[in-house]
Amino acid sequence: MARVYNFSAGPAVLPEEVLREAADEMLDYRGCGMSVMEMSHRSKPFAAIMEAAEQDIRDLMDIPDNYRVLFLQGGASTQFAMIPMNLMKNKVADYIVSGSWSKKAFKEAKIFGDARCVASSEDENFSYVPDVRALQLSDDADYVYICQNETIYGTVYHELPNTNGKPLVADVSSCFLSEPMDVSKYGLIYGGVQKNVGPAGVTIVIIRDDLVSEPLPGTPTMLRYDTHVDAKSLYNTPPAYGIYMCGKVFQWLKAQGGLEAMKERNVEKAQLLYDFLDQSALFKGTARKEDRSIMNVPFVTGSDELDAKFVAEAKKVGIESIKGHRSVGGMRASIYNAMPREGVEALVRFMGEFERENA
């Protein structure tokens, strides 16, 4: 068996130990005589899986007691609508648009009320995070929205906006569990798990109690946070197997030393790649230095032809899915929690060889 180094932005690499454990339990989950995939979501073994998963993510992120954790479906994109439907009481919300994902969320919110773009970095193809110290927020805004790590452009907030007491809502899809975060600074945190946490199909929402309330009139039952809070994410059939896999990843993260340890490792891995990019005569990172993400690293050679050649040759040596998103072009290395340091070392080594042969 030969596993490649998978730099895909998502669905993305998962820890090998987790995949092996899931494979071992595939036909018979701990003496149940069936796979978790075949199990009632109301059964005792599944209830235990769900309970452990919630407790483990609470432990990992140190989630305060006045926050609920929901395991939902519909991807991060469904949250683009669920957030305004449930939170936009005054029908006003402030959005910081720092990339394609926050732009999509902003556009969706406009369906439900007066969503206002209070800062944007679109003028320079989202290569930086707007200055959050100079924000003019709306007095009557129900919340302030950010996408904390922009997966496509490889930028991250190193400082959170001061929201003057308004709930901060953050899409953390591509930086979930990559480092510790102070949950109490947010009203709502959410992410699709297929980037850094688990298989596609699960969206985790962490919401402060006081924000779980009557939504806008006409909100469908499935799109109300209170539905899922009241039913503890079991209003209908949850994405059961995906939750089980997320639970395994939480256990793996605990065994790795938790989020402080992950951060240290993630920073080291990213530094390896950025150090190479900063001295390279051929490759160039596309995000502004101060705002660079430790999860997604976009880079280009400046020549579409060389970019394509790089992607093709990389694939031959087991460096997979390194092609950049079409809106940036070039390459993107997504170096999530489960990407081993050796993977980044192999990439940097290959980039060096490619540079010598093609510069």
Ligand X SMILES: *Cc1c(COP(=O)(O)O)cnc(C)c1O
> With respect to ligand X, which residue has the nearer C-beta, 198 or 343?
198
Least Cβ distance, residue 204 to ligand X (angstroms): 11
Query: Of residues 13, 53, 76, 344, which one binds ligand X by CB under 6 A?
Result: 76
Determine the 3-state secondary structure of 135 from DSSP. coil
Q: Is 101 a catalytic residue?
A: yes
Helices (H) and strands (E) in the chain, counts: 9, 14
- Residue 278: CB atoms within 10 Å: 11
- Residue 337 near ligand X by CB under 6 A: no
Q: Is 65 annotated as a binding residue?
A: no
Residue 126 to residue 8: CA distance in whole angstroms = 20
Category of 89 on φ-ψ map: left (φ > 0), alpha (ψ -120 to 50) or beta: alpha
Task: Please tell me the number of Cα atoms within 13 Å of 97 on its side-chain side.
Answer: 20
Least Cβ distance, residue 99 to ligand X (angstroms): 8
Query: Of residues 94, 171, 179, 291, which one binds ligand X by CB under 6 A?
Result: 171
> With respect to ligand X, which residue has the nearer C-beta, 198 or 354?
198
Residue 77 to residue 46: CA distance in whole angstroms = 27
Report which of 252, 210, 206 is spatially closest to residue 79, judged by C-alpha positions: 206
> With respect to ligand X, which residue has the nearer C-beta, 339 or 351?
339
- Residue 324 near ligand X by CB under 6 A: no
Q: Is 171 a catalytic residue?
A: yes
Single out the segment in contact with ligand X by CB under 6 A; choices: 41-49, 70-78, 207-215, 252-260. 70-78
Q: Is 288 annotated as a binding residue?
A: no
- 237: Cβ contacts below 8 Å, ≥ 6 apart: 41
Q: Is 171 annotated as a binding residue?
A: yes
Print the binding letters for residues 173-192 with ligand X: x by CB under 6 A, - otherwise.
xx-----------------x
Q: Is 194 annotated as a binding residue?
A: yes
Cis check for the bond before 180: say yes or no (omega within 30 of 0): no
> Of 56, 103, 142, 195, which is the active-site residue?
195
Helix 258-279 with 341-358: angle, nearest 10 deg: 10
Which stretches of the chain bind ligand X, using CB under 6 A? 10, 75-77, 101, 147, 151, 171, 173-174, 192, 195
Q: Which residues are annotated as a binding site for L-glutamate?
A: 42
Q: Which residues are catalytic?
A: 101, 171, 195
